[in-house]
Amino acid sequence: MGSVYETDIAIIGAGPVGLFAVFQCGMLRLKSVVIDALDTPGGQCSALYPEKPIYDIPGHPAVLAQDLVDHLTAQAQPFRPEYLLGQQVETLERLEDGRFQLGTSQGSIVRAGVVILAAGAGAFGPNRPPLDGIERFEGTSVFYHVRRREELRGKRVVIAGGGDSAVDWGIALADVAARVMVVHRRAKFRAAPESEARLKALAEAGEIDLVVPYQLHGLEGDGAALKAVLVADLDNQVRRMEADILLPFYGLSMNLGPIAEWGLALERHQVPIDSATGATNVPGIFAVGDIAAYPHKLKLILTGFAEAAQAAHAARRLLHPGEELHFEYSTTKGVP
């Protein structure tokens, strides 16, 4: 059995909005535990496009997605949140004292007065290719996202997938990795046309290998160290490629999972909320970010930031009824 955590707020989702919720709760002297299915904070920003610029964050003409996540993590750090990463919330129940108890896939128990859902479109997790024994390579030779391309310098890298992530990383690693092999089951990619054209130009110049039409077939390795990736064509002819790293980019699973069984009202895989507070139909559970729905909502990160602030204040009123809060701006009070 995992550890037991007692906290004020359980935040489900460690994307940008979840991280900002930690800060907002901390400014109100509320302690947070953050749970996320991915193994690092950042949500889609870290998992799908860490080195892509974002242009609509106030005060930043442009900021790399991973830099934004790093800033948000640093902003939350003074409040010492507990991060339970690489695990999903599987159970939720209300205890006799009115608090919530959450159980995770790794056996951790979190007891909290309030739950804030910041899980994007659901509990994100990588779509794993159905390869025997892939688990033993995960985290050492198989990665579902890349934080920094420099970590792959000099490596023989196989990228599997046909979307923007596979194409973008094929381009980004061309001048970093010792060898880049992009595997896709068809010659046409599901990516921005200019990116696809650039990828194919690199292949024609001999700077990367396009392995099409092929699909992943198997892995060879010593312990957790990958030695080769096996791929098969449409006639099931197998090809062996020596490799150090496999990056399977088949997207993230975006389903609500057990969240759908918690008695929350649902509309098209989203949770309707009171836009003034973030409150759901279940007292004590709030929703912020892309998972939260209300009329005329703008699906922007900055909208999620505002929702996180509103939910934090509503949560404090719920946890400390009748206790007057003398609100001060951060420029006045600083960080507690």
pLDDT band at 30 (very low <50, low <70, confident <90, very high): very high
pLDDT band at 149 (very low <50, low <70, confident <90, very high): confident
pLDDT of res. 216: 97
- pLDDT tens-digit profile of 37-54? 888 888 877 766 677 788
pLDDT band at 120 (very low <50, low <70, confident <90, very high): confident
* Cα–Cα distance for residue pair 38/164, rounded to 1 Å: 20
pLDDT of res. 91: 92
Burial of residue 271 (number of CB atoms within 10 Å: 0-12, 13-18, 19+):
buried
* Cα–Cα distance for residue pair 135/198, rounded to 1 Å: 33
pLDDT band at 336 (very low <50, low <70, confident <90, very high): low
pLDDT band at 179 (very low <50, low <70, confident <90, very high): very high
* Cα–Cα distance for residue pair 333/75, rounded to 1 Å: 15
Structure tokens at 253: 């699973």
- pLDDT mean over 148-177: 93
Is a pLDDT exceeding 90 seen at residue 98?
Answer: yes
Evaluate the CA torsion angle 106, 74, 308, 335 in order and state its sign: positive
- pLDDT tens-digit profile of 204-245? 999 999 999 999 999 999 999 999 999 999 899 999 999 999
Is a pLDDT exceeding 60 seen at residue 121?
Answer: no
Specify the fold of 128-250. FAD/NAD(P)-binding domain (3.50.50)
Grouping H, G, I as helix, E, B as strand and the rest as coil, residue 144 is coil
pLDDT of res. 315: 97
In the chain, beta strands by DSSP E: 4-12, 32-36, 53-54, 63-64, 82-85, 89-94, 100-104, 109-117, 125-126, 156-160, 179-183, 209-211, 214-222, 225-233, 238-242, 245-248, 252-253, 271-272, 285-287, 292-293
- Cα angle at 153 between 148 and 154, to 5 degrees? 160
Closest listed residue to residue 250, CA positions, set 332, 183, 178, 299: 183
Instruction: Please list, in sequence order, all residues whose beta carbon lies within 8 angstroms of the beta carbon of residue 108, skipping any fewer than 6 positions away.
Output: 2, 3, 4, 5, 35, 84, 87
- pLDDT mean over 171-183: 96
> pTM for the complete prediction?
0.67
Spell out the CATH class of 4-125+253-333.
Answer: alpha beta
Domain boundaries, the chain: 4-125+253-333, 128-250
Strands 63-64 and 53-54: antiparallel
- The 8-class DSSP code of residue 20 comes to H
- Cα angle at 159 between 120 and 301, to 5 degrees? 20
- pLDDT mean over 147-162: 92
pLDDT of res. 269: 73
- pLDDT mean over 286-312: 94
Is a pLDDT exceeding 70 seen at residue 301?
Answer: yes
Same fold, 4-125+253-333 and 128-250: yes
How many Å is the Cα radius of gyration of the chain?
A: 22
- pLDDT tens-digit profile of 277-295? 999 999 999 999 989 999 9
pLDDT band at 267 (very low <50, low <70, confident <90, very high): confident
pLDDT band at 333 (very low <50, low <70, confident <90, very high): low
